């Protein structure tokens, strides 16, 4: 069975968190490309103007200019992007927050504070059987 090349769009305004995510993704999957942006406005621009069509979108919640809530709301209002799975990866957490995100169309929520589980999370979505361990 041959793994298909996949793509990811990452919305993350913290450069260190962005770098950690990208390094972890590269270690988990050699067949996944990732386009990283700093907020929801840049993400919508990447999708609409640059024609990025990711298999998955990973987004933080707290970002300048357009946060994760507004991005998700806007994304789900655009027909051609309604079916792209959106995974929220944020240090902000509450049961109410998760309920609101699901109502807006988020596929899953993971806490950034448990950074050691990021390889497992990314392996779930992008992993290839020959990936090397980073832990």
Q: What is the pLDDT of residues 30-75, one digit of tens each?
A: 889 999 999 999 999 999 999 889 999 999 999 999 999 999 999 9
Asked whether residue 68 is assigned to any structural domain, the reply reads: yes
135: pLDDT confidence band, cut at 50, 70 and 90?
A: very low
Give pTM, 2 decimals: 0.88
Asked whether residue 15 is assigned to any structural domain, the reply reads: no
How many folded domains does the chain comprise? 1
Distance (Å, rounded) from C-alpha 39 to C-alpha 16? 15
Which CATH number belongs to the domain containing residue 102 in this structure? Answer: 3.40.50.2300
Asked whether residue 103 is assigned to any structural domain, the reply reads: yes
Backbone angles phi, psi at 87, to 5 degrees: -105, 125
Distance (Å, rounded) from C-alpha 44 to C-alpha 36? 12
Asked whether residue 20 is assigned to any structural domain, the reply reads: no
Asked whether residue 26 is assigned to any structural domain, the reply reads: no
Asked whether residue 60 is assigned to any structural domain, the reply reads: yes
Query: Residue 117 is part of which domain span?
Result: 37-126
Asked whether residue 131 is assigned to any structural domain, the reply reads: no
What value, to the nearest 5°, has the Cα angle with vertex 132 and ends 5 and 33? 25
Asked whether residue 109 is assigned to any structural domain, the reply reads: yes
* Contact indicator for 37, 9 with CB cutoff of 8 Å: yes
């Amino acid at each position: 069975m041959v793994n298909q090349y996949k793509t990811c769009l990452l919305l993350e305004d913290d450069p260190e968190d962005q770098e950690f995510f990208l390094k972890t993704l590269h270690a988990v999957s050699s067949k996944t490309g990732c386009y990283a942006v700093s907020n929801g406005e840049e993400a919508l621009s990447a999708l609409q103007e640059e024609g990025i069509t990711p298999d998955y979108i990973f987004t933080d919640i707290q970002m300048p200019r357009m946060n994760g809530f507004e991005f998700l709301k806007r994304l789900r209002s655009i027909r051609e992007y309604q079916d792209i799975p959106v995974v929220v990866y944020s240090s902000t957490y509450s049961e109410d927050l998760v309920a609101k995100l699901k109502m807006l169309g988020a596929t899953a929520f993971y806490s950034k504070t448990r950074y050691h589980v990021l390889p497992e999370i990314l392996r779930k979505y992008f992993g290839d059987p020959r990936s090397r361990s980073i832990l």
